[in-house]
Amino acid sequence: MKNTKALILVLFMALTTINAQEMQNKLSLMPWPKNVSENTAKFYINSDVTISVFGEDQGRVRNAAVNFLRRLTNRTGIFLKNGFPSFNDDSANIKVYFSSIANLSIDDDESYTLEVLENSIIINANTDVGALRGIQTLLQLTSYDNSGYFFNGVSINDAPRFVWRGLMIDVARHFQPVEVLKRNLDAMASVKMNVFHWHLTDDQGFRVKSKSFPKLHEIGGDGFYYTHSQIKEVVEYASNLGIRVIPEFDVPGHATAILAAYPEYGSVKDTTYTVERNAGIFNPTLDPTNDKTYEFLDTLFTEIAPLFPDEYFHIGGDENEGKHWDANPEIQKFKKKHNLKTNHDLQTYFNIKLEKILNRLGKKLMGWDEIMTPNMPTTAVIHSWRGENEGFSKGGTLIDAAKNGYNTVLSAGFYIDRMLSIEHHYSVEPIGDVSLTTEERKRILGGETTMWSELVTPTTIDSRIWPRTAAIAERFWSPKEINDIENMRLRLEVVNFRLEELGLTHIKNRDVILRSMTNNNDISALKSLSNVCEPLKVYSRNAGGTEYQTYSPFTLFADACVADAKDAVAFNSLVSNFINDNKDKENVLNYLNLWAKNYGSFSKIENNPNVKPLKDLSKNLSEVSEKLANVISKETLDSKTLTSIQENIAVLKAPFMDVELAILDELESLISYCKSNYLTN
């Protein structure tokens, strides 16, 4: 570990002193491997590059090697003589060895070693999946110099810290077609994630075709659902990438879509339900006292479980407030009869019945942390989504679960739909300094980022997942000590752009939305604004869950903005350098002058109905930037100017079209600096 730390330190110091282009040509590995050492070799990439696979191949490594060649040739522009990998060919210059085929389970060995020398590259792994991880690392080593593209000479010995490194995608609130999942699976594989948690049902939709209960997809899915062959296609695609697929069928709450189709299994009798269009927590709940409910779930799971080869099956189990249980006297009677004191007890009764069904189907039950009640068997896996912020003690339900004997997976802190900065998520340390026994530590399987989809569509989902998930993937894979924010940002910048190679739309669709907003006029003013604005955070964009419904427009300015607005992040450190160290004055002025001009171009497109509401944002930003640039250049500030600057700031503090200006703090710091140093009267 010490070597890695030292290398990181050296690398970081080097990176901060050389220019951006040179930096990008340096190692941009993410997740950072367990052990890396550099050598001076450069393996130049030319048309003679060949890759050969050694070992009993069942498709995964061949698939990865084909993709490797495609990406390499497209990235470098080099015309390779051999477009396909060979097998057991000692003359190949890139050789991949492995000895067994992984089962895709939590016991898989994903370790590998990678040697890049002048004329030879060797990847060595115990399993085929380990080999895939090594191939991704190699791809991240492409650089160029005046002689052309090359792989950096390194010696890497790598293995993950956690065995469960997941991304959850909610396809219920907004349906996500197969191609969205596939490109995100490719992206996950590129940062060595290995679990795709598929949140398939919720109040707003049931997304699997059911032969046993066709109204589930017809009514509960509004026509937006996956066929069985599509599910098999996604599972196979994931498996080829060394990614497990965990389906989630959320019960007994979050069940409105199920009950819209089959109200007879609901806790309110003789009623009808309609598929939910708003966001929030809703009351429709399966009736756990009705034997028919279990017959229904038994038949449904018997139909659907075989589509998912993984041993885990997620039953949700979250956010059931039990209001419909309280309101039904029959359910109350049942609770008394069975000595179930609380609704939690009743839900545990339900969960235990479900676990039996799932066990019979060869599945282990997994659920959100509400399922962790005193009577819940420790065979269940606890998915922790509540931590200190939700009133739990240090380490939240994750640590509780591990101590209570459950295997557990962390999502608290990784809710990327909250639109928080990457710094926030990257700094979440799953275990921290909590003291655990070896057994307890082993029960902490890893973590999952959660992409809840109330506010995302296929057009925008990539820009909400990426690039932040790449940094979180590092948190799940790399040693705890890899935690320098600035170095992570530098590497992430490269990883972020390389993700486009996989068809991700996180960069390009931002322009698509701006073009649409402006009716294909000049988008430069909006683009510049979008680089200092961020979507409102922590669900304030959709207060109460009613502002945006399922079919609201998600092609507004906020949808073209992302967390960690690029220019805002850069401006933040420049302002800090300027104020604290009297450096970067010119760079601060460059930004201010850029924004000073914004309203000039903005005013040409402001008549568009979706652009108009941003007028005060653009205008006041331009005004305040111009004034501040003037003050800082001339090093003098009069009180009249100060007042007018403060008036601009007051306007800019309001949200505009669900975005917030992400440089407000920096502007205010500059103002107080100017006040302290330049105020004349």
Name the residues annotated as catalytic: 319
| Least distance (Å) between residue 599 CB and a copy of itself | 18
Buried b vs exposed e over 61-70: b needs ≥16 C-beta within 10 Å?
bbbbbebbbe
Cβ contact 449:467 at 8 Å: no
Residue in the structure block whose two tokens are 């885990």: 312
Of 16 and 519, nearer to a copy of itself (C-beta) is 519
Cis previous bond, 467, omega within 30? yes
CB-wise, 223 or 374, nearer to a copy of itself?
223
Residue where the block lists tokens 């038949």: 299
Cβ proximity to a copy of itself, 79 vs 374, nearer residue: 79
> CA separation (Å) from 563 to 375, 422, 423, 621?
41, 8, 10, 19
Nearer to a copy of itself, 132 or 251 (CB): 132
Sign of CA dihedral 499, 505, 510, 512: positive
- State how far the alpha carbon of 499 is from the alpha carbons of 16, 28, 164, 166, 463, in Å: 23, 13, 22, 17, 11
Smallest gap from residue 89 Cβ to a copy of itself (A): 17
| Beta strand 244-251 pairing with 195-199 | parallel
Q: Provide the angle, in degrees to the nearest 10, between the axes of the packed helices 291-304 and 343-360.
A: 40
Three-class SS state of 339: coil
Shortest Cβ distance from residue 443 to a copy of itself (Å)? Answer: 40
Nearest to a copy of itself of 62, 675 (CB atom) = 62
**Smallest gap from residue 552 Cβ to a copy of itself (A):** 5
Cβ of residue 613: shortest distance to a copy of itself, in angstroms? Answer: 9
Q: Which is nearer to a copy of itself, 233 or 668 (CB)?
A: 233
Structure tokens given for 665: 């703090």
The answer to whether the CB of 430 falls within 8 A of the CB of 417 is no
Our CA dihedral for 503, 508, 509, 512, rounded to 10 degrees, sits at -130
Residues in contact with a copy of itself by CB under 8 A are 21, 24-25, 62-63, 66, 69-70, 73-80, 83-84, 144, 146, 148-149, 177-179, 222-223, 227, 229-230, 233, 277, 458-459, 493-494, 497, 500-501, 503, 505, 507-509, 511-512, 515-517, 519-521, 549-556, 607-610
Sign of CA dihedral 616, 618, 621, 626: negative
**Shortest reach from residue 387's CB to a copy of itself, in Å:** 34
Q: What's the longest Cα–Cα distance across the chain? A: 82
Considering the complex, state which of residue 46 and residue 572 has its C-beta at the smaller distance from a copy of itself.
Answer: 46
Q: Write down the least CB distance from residue 517 to a copy of itself, Å.
A: 8
d(CA 257, CA 206): 6
